[in-house]
Amino acid sequence: MSDDNLLVDATTKIFEDLCDPQNINAAKDGSWKQLLWNALEESGLTSAWVPEEFGGAGASISDGFRIIEVAGKFAVPIALPETLLGGWLLSNANINIPKGIMAVAPTRPRDKLTIHSSGTLNGQVRGVPFASEADHIVAAIEDAGSTKVALVAKNNCEIKSFSGLSGDPRDTILFDNVGTISIQKLQGDLSYRSVKLMGATIRSLQIGGALMAILELATEHAKTRVAFEKPIAKFQAVQHNLAKLANETAAAVAVANSAADTLANSPDNEQAIFFEASSAKIRTGEAVGEGTAIAHQVLGAIGFTEEHILHRFTQRLWDWRDDFGNESEWAVELGALIAENGADELWPLLTTR
Q: Where does this chain bind another protein (CB under 8 A)?
A: 212, 215-216, 219, 222-223, 233-234, 236, 238-240, 242-244, 246-247, 249-251, 253-255, 257-258, 260-261, 275-276, 278-280, 282-283, 286, 327-328, 330-336, 338-340, 342-344, 346-347, 350-351, 353
In whole angstroms, the minimum distance from the beta carbon of 212 to another protein comes to: 7
What is the closest distance, in whole angstroms, from the C-beta atom of residue 198 to another protein in the complex? 17
Cα gap 283→287, rounded to integer Å: 6
**Identity of the residue, 121 or 245, whose beta carbon is nearer to another protein in the bound complex:** 245
Give the nearest distance from C-beta 91 to another protein in angstroms: 24
Instruction: Give the nearest distance from C-beta 283 to another protein in angstroms.
Output: 5
| Contact (Cβ atoms closer than 8 angstroms) between residue 170 and residue 128 | yes
If you ran DSSP here, which 8-state letter would residue 45 be given? G
Q: Name which of 19 and 211 has its Cβ closer to another protein.
A: 211
The residue among 307 and 340 lying less far from another protein, judged by its C-beta, is: 340
From 331, 346, 231, 305, select the one nearest 25 (Cα to Cα): 305
Shortest distance in whole angstroms from residue 253 CB to another protein: 6
- Residue number with CB closer to another protein (11 or 46): 11
Cβ proximity to another protein, 35 vs 350, nearer residue = 350
> What would you report as the CA-atom Rg of the chain, rounded to the nearest whole angstrom?
20
What are the residue ranges of helices labelled H in the chain?
3-18, 21-26, 31-42, 61-73, 80-91, 192-224, 236-265, 270-303, 310-320, 327-341, 346-352
Shortest separation between residue 331's beta carbon and another protein, angstroms:
3
126 or 283: CB nearest another protein: 283
Phi, psi of 240 (to 5 degrees): -70, -35
CA distance 79 to 95: 20
| 146-153: strand order across its sheet | 102-105, 136-143, 146-153, 182-185
